[in-house]
Amino acid sequence: MKPAILTALALLFPAAAATADIVCMDSDEMEAALIDWYQLQPVSWTSTENSVIWASSGSGVWALVDYDDRSGKACVLEQGENWTEGGGSGLLALAGD
**Virtual CA dihedral for 3, 62, 35, 97, nearest 10 degrees?**
-120
Q: Whole-prediction pTM value?
A: 0.67
Query: Can you tell me the distance from the alpha carbon of 28 to that of 31, in angstroms, rounded to the nearest whole number?
Result: 5
37: containing domain? 5-95
Q: What is the tally of structural domains in the chain?
A: 1
pLDDT of residue 13: 40
**SS3 track for 36-63:** HHHCCEEEEECCCCCEEEEECCCCCCEE
pLDDT of residue 65: 94
Name residues of the chain where pLDDT drops below 70. 1-20, 46-48, 86-97
